[in-house]
Amino acid sequence: MKLPRRVPWASKAELEQLCTWIYSDESPHDAKRRALHRLAAWRVATPLPHALDSVLSLLAAELGDEAGASAMLVRQSYASAIVRFVNGMVDPLQFGAYARSIAGIAAQIGLPAWLVELRHAATHEDLPSLDILREASHEALTWILHNYFMPVLSMAESTARPPVQPPSLAPLLKEYKTLAKQATRDASLRSSLQPDLTRIFRQLERWIGEAKVSSLSVSSGTDDAEANALELLSYELLDKGGLVPIAKKKRLPTSDRLFPPNAEVWRPLLLQVQEQHASFGSVLISTIATRVGIFDDADQDDTSRTCLLSWVVWIVDTWGESAGCGSHDAISQLLLSIPPTQLSKSAPLLVQLVETLLTDDDSLKTRFLALLQPPGATDNVWQDADVSIMKQRLAVIQESAPDIRRAKAAAVVDSAAMAVDAPAVGWRSLAGNSSWQPCPIGMSGIVS
């Protein structure tokens, strides 16, 4: 369950009033000063979102400029605020082992490119002129208005900027497959092809980062965004020509173990992604289960399903329980993904998968295989062994019958004796040594 997010404002009205102060045209100096004081008070109580923290720095620079501070001090204040604004917007979106360009991430979130260039100039070159810094501050505040205040205040998805979708991964995967086939066929070429493979891995990691940024606008957190990005990658890999060969004769497993025919080609790429993203294996199994459960697609035939199931075996054998890719979970996901009406069609493939993955667990294998039996196949049929077992049970009952009858008779006698001799619960007998005699009420001790 996602925990509630702590915000500095008590109600949306406070945030709306702050927005009015910042972007008010009437008496802007006093309004901006009130906004500055409000943000400073909020920052004491709780950490501010980066957008509001940037507004605080930009307002402080603007008010210092209007107060007539020295030009160099004002330029440094503007430059520092803009650098912090750009870095704070871009750095949280750096995912994976390979760094992505700031300009690429800025383009995804709609940040003006010239602000990124200004940030570079203010960091590594001479400070920009005061006029350019003033314009940059105004541009940054405008961007925050449209990309932070308006979406938060309206809570409408239509006000948010639509995310930039990552490009298709098919050309990159095709290039990788060509190089990997060469390295597989001729081991002497591996060292010469390694730089190109490393470049492809970097581009793939960059693509995952872009997909993750695109998913942040529709997901509830970073973990969900990464899962969405890995799911997009899984669908790209499972397209024809990827993990599933185009030619049907190349889809069949190479051994009885359901080993995928092109495992050596895709193994380096899959291991590279799993090394950087620990949940990739489980996401790939879930995506495969979804594809196996599709029966209205003409391209999804038995050879395609067999190849997909062989990749499930490879994932379980390669990564196992430690990566969330256990055989029990994999089989359960596959069974749940197939509609009950189509289960009989996929039963032979699933039986082969169960027997392959659960060779060391006969009890669990028997349970899964029972689920794959057609209706009526599990009806009880009496065998000679069943009759002998029933006779043994009957003999045990008959041997214990005399003891049961004696115990029952003794219990009846004891209960009858208790009914005669024992008084009712809560009473005690006054007979024998008691000197009590009946007499009218109030005459005890008078009547003898």
pLDDT tens digit sequence for 247-268: 888 877 766 667 788 888 999 9
Q: How many domains does the chain have?
A: 2
Cα separation, 386 vs 168, in Å, equals 62
Domain co-membership, 142 together with 209: no
Cα separation, 150 vs 146, in Å, equals 6
Instruction: Name the token pair of 130.
Output: 């005061």
Query: Is 140 within the bounds of a domain?
Result: yes
**Which range among 225-234, 247-256, 376-385 has the greatest average pLDDT?**
225-234
Is the pLDDT at 349 greater than 50? The verdict is yes
Q: What is the arithmetic mean of pLDDT over 157-171? A: 63
Query: Is 253 within the bounds of a domain?
Result: yes
Q: What is the arithmetic mean of pLDDT over 344-364? A: 72
Cα separation, 302 vs 300, in Å, equals 7
What's the CA angle centered on 383, arms 379 and 387, to 5 degrees? 115
Domain co-membership, 214 together with 336: yes
Q: What is the arithmetic mean of pLDDT over 62-86? A: 87
Q: Which of 110, 135, 159 is the last residue of a domain?
A: 159
Q: 312 with 320: CB under 8 angstroms? A: no
- Print the domain residue range for 46: 12-159
Q: What is the arithmetic mean of pLDDT over 368-386? A: 64
Domain co-membership, 63 together with 203: no
**Weakest mean pLDDT among 177-186, 284-293, 396-405:** 396-405
Q: 265 with 181: CB under 8 angstroms? A: yes
Q: Which of 105, 125, 159 is the last residue of a domain?
A: 159
pLDDT at position 156 is: 42
Query: Is 22 within the bounds of a domain?
Result: yes
Query: Is 393 within the bounds of a domain?
Result: no
Q: What is the arithmetic mean of pLDDT over 189-211? A: 87
Domain co-membership, 315 together with 175: yes
In the chain, what percentage of residues exceed pLDDT 90? 2
Q: 314 with 355: CB under 8 angstroms? A: no
Query: 117-152 as b/e, with b when 16 or more CB fall inside 10 Å?
Result: ebbeebeeeeebeeebbbebbebbbebbeebbbebb
Listed residue (123, 161, 118) closest to 143, CA to CA: 161
Domain co-membership, 361 together with 334: yes
Residue that is written with structure tokens 């009806």 in the block: 379
pLDDT at position 158 is: 44
Binned at pLDDT 50, 70 and 90, residue 225 comes out as confident
Is the pLDDT at 425 greater than 70? The verdict is no
Domain co-membership, 125 together with 236: no
Q: 209 with 261: CB under 8 angstroms? A: no
Q: Which of 98, 131, 159 is the last residue of a domain?
A: 159
Is the pLDDT at 3 greater than 60? The verdict is no
Q: What is the arithmetic mean of pLDDT over 138-166? A: 73
Binned at pLDDT 50, 70 and 90, residue 223 comes out as low
Query: Is 337 within the bounds of a domain?
Result: yes
Cα separation, 75 vs 134, in Å, equals 9
pLDDT at position 160 is: 45
Q: What are phi and psi of 238, to 5 degrees?
A: -85, -5
Is the pLDDT at 241 greater than 60? The verdict is yes
Query: 276-293 as b/e, with b when 16 or more CB fall inside 10 Å?
Result: ebebbbbbbbbbbbbbbb
Binned at pLDDT 50, 70 and 90, residue 175 comes out as very high
Query: Is 133 within the bounds of a domain?
Result: yes
Q: 333 with 303: CB under 8 angstroms? A: no
Domain co-membership, 237 together with 257: yes
Binned at pLDDT 50, 70 and 90, residue 1 comes out as very low
- H helix or E strand, kind and range, residue 84: helix 71-90
Is the pLDDT at 281 greater than 50? The verdict is yes
Domain co-membership, 92 together with 208: no
Is the pLDDT at 411 greater than 50? The verdict is yes
Domain co-membership, 127 together with 186: no
**Weakest mean pLDDT among 55-64, 253-262, 295-304, 424-433:** 424-433
Domain co-membership, 50 together with 86: yes
Which residues are CB-contacts of 36 (< 8 A; sequence separation ≥ 6)? Answer: 56, 59, 60, 63
Domain co-membership, 217 together with 287: yes
Cα separation, 355 vs 349, in Å, equals 10
Query: Is 285 within the bounds of a domain?
Result: yes
Is the pLDDT at 378 greater than 60? The verdict is no
Listed residue (23, 32, 161, 154) closest to 89, CA to CA: 161
Q: Report the 3 state secondary structure along 160-204.
A: CCCCCCCCCCHHHHHHHHHHHHHHHHCHHHHHHHHHHHHHHHHHH
Helix, strand and coil content of the chain, in percent to the nearest 5, comes to: 70, 0, 30
Query: Is 402 within the bounds of a domain?
Result: no
**Residue 158: C-alpha distances to residues 112, 152, 161, 163, 213 (Å):** 20, 12, 8, 12, 18
Q: What is the DSSP string of 259-318?
A: --TTHHHHHHHHHHHHHH-TTHHHHHHHHHHHHHT--S-TT--HHHHHHHHHHHHHHHHH
Domain co-membership, 139 together with 193: no
The whole-chain average pLDDT of the chain stands at: 78
